[in-house]
Amino acid sequence: MSIVEKIKKIKNLDKNLNGGASEEQIERAEKRLSLRFSKEYKEYVKEFGMISFYGTEWSGLNIDGYFNVVNMTEDEKALNEAFPEKYFAIENLAVDGVIIISNEEGKIYSIQYDKKELICNSLSEYLDICLKRN
């Protein structure tokens, strides 16, 4: 099942009222962050822009403010000099400085200050984790 299909099954899903992101918005964001988003992340932002569910809030595009992936990633890099290059922010857990990040291949990590730990191999697997914790 694709990431988009899995997200569509979430009850009480809050989607970005602005809708999904355009290819142009994705390319601009990638250029600004000097990286490439993973295939699944692109699928997600093209369809939804950004989502929240059960207190979980993922970064995205076609939205202003902190939850814009560019803003969140740049803000977190400014706060943490150990934030790795070629990674982008997915979610701020708002607990003890833990940020969920992804590399260009789509592997998902948690980062807390200078400690980076692999959580799972895809955004789809991370969605399963998020749904279980709620």
What would the pLDDT profile of 72-126 be if each residue is shown by its tens digit?
Answer: 999 999 999 999 999 999 999 988 889 999 999 999 999 999 999 999 999 999 9
CA dihedral 64, 67, 71, 77 (to 10 degrees): 170
Largest CA distance in the chain: 37
At residue 48 the predicted structure's pLDDT band, cuts being 50, 70 and 90, is very high
- Please give the model's pTM, rounded to 2 decimal places: 0.94
